[in-house]
Structure 1
Amino acid sequence: MTVAYDKHYQTENLFGEPYPELISFFSNNPTRGKLLDLGCGQGRDAIALAKLGYEVTGIDNSAVGIQQMERSARTQGIKLTGLVADIYDFRDFTDFEFILLDSMFHFRTSELKRETELVERVINNAKKGTLIVFCIQHSGNKIKIFKNIVVNLEFSERTAELDFNYVFEDKDSNHKSTTKYKMVVIKK
């Protein structure tokens, strides 16, 4: 099956480098363990987090993205696992101490029900103590919608909430853009 991102990922490193704030959070975390990167794409976060000592499994529905991630990891001598699968069908969250969802949610009307169910499923089915990290574009009503989804879910605490700006640079075209993000960390 061909998916839209198979075409997009013809551009290597499409989304650039991982957010420094995300890497700093995971670098400063005192423990390591199994980390699930849902919607890992080409592996920008998965590879960086594996370098930090996390045992990373990245899932994406783009075979092209997973192949690029695995090739890059092999070239760098990094061990990680890539799975081509639909994150909306994935159910086995209990094997992981960390779950990352970076830029996965748009909360458009056409996607709202499906994305809401994913947020609920991840939080409800993660094992106790799991850190779940969401990076969401801080535009429109995305953060308000996200907070309305999680407000009634059962988890132990919201351990961190950080606003940051990410500057994307396309070196081929010299295009630069800045996007506001919010990182929310929930401890199950």
Structure 2
Amino acid sequence: MSAHDQLTNASPWVERFVSQIPKEGLVLDLACGGGRHAVFLAQLGYSVLGVDLNIDQLASLGHPTIKTKVLDLEREEWPLEGAQFAGIVVTNYLYRPHLDRLPQMLAPGGVLIYETFPKVMPSLESPQTRISF
């Protein structure tokens, strides 16, 4: 897989577990970047909220089942306090001070799919650590 494909295609980790997310409810694409996972989820019939500091690329698609919101996820005050989701997808992003909040944001039966890097990452091109909850 080329570096470009890694930025445009859904992560194999997300593809592997996406079917576990309940179809009812909203799925959060946290730190969505360009929106590759939001688009993938929407194509599978999920309603998606993509959040990041810059959501211009995703918002420009105008997809009817993808909503976007500009959020600073690294502020001391958690901007998603009280929100609940059927699923949360996070890839290539890790901000440890708020990591423990994610499972609390899952609705009953909800699924967290998280793919990130270890503390000491040998390569920026391919995450080596994958965690399944």
TM-score of Structure 1 vs Structure 2, range by shorter chain = 0.7 to 0.9
How many residues were matched structurally? 125
Q: For 2:15 and 2:112, locate their aligned partners in 1 and report how far apart those are by CA, in whole Å.
A: 14
TM superposition shift of 1:30: 6.9
Partner of 2:51: 59
Q: Secondary structure at the match of 1:99?
A: strand
**Structure 1 CA distance for aligned equivalents of residues 96 and 53 of structure 2:** 19
Residue 57 of structure 2 aligns to a residue whose secondary structure is helix
Structure with greater proportional helix content: 1
The 5 Å alignment of 1:66-105 reads 66-72=55-61, 74=62, 78-88=64-74, 89-92=78-81, 94-105=83-94
Q: Which amino acid aligns with 2:57?
A: Q
Distance across 2 between alignment mates of 1:182 and 1:14: 16
Partner of 1:161: none
- Alpha-carbon distance between aligned partners in 1 of 2:109 and 2:21, rounded to the nearest angstrom: 14
- Inter-partner Cα distance in structure 1 for 2:21 and 2:14: 15
Which of 1 and 2 has higher RCO (CA within 8 Å, sep 6+)?
2
Change (3 A) 1:79 1:126: closer
TM-score between the two structures when normalised by the length of structure 2: 0.74
Name the aligned partner's letter for residue 91 of structure 1.
L
Identity score, percent: 21
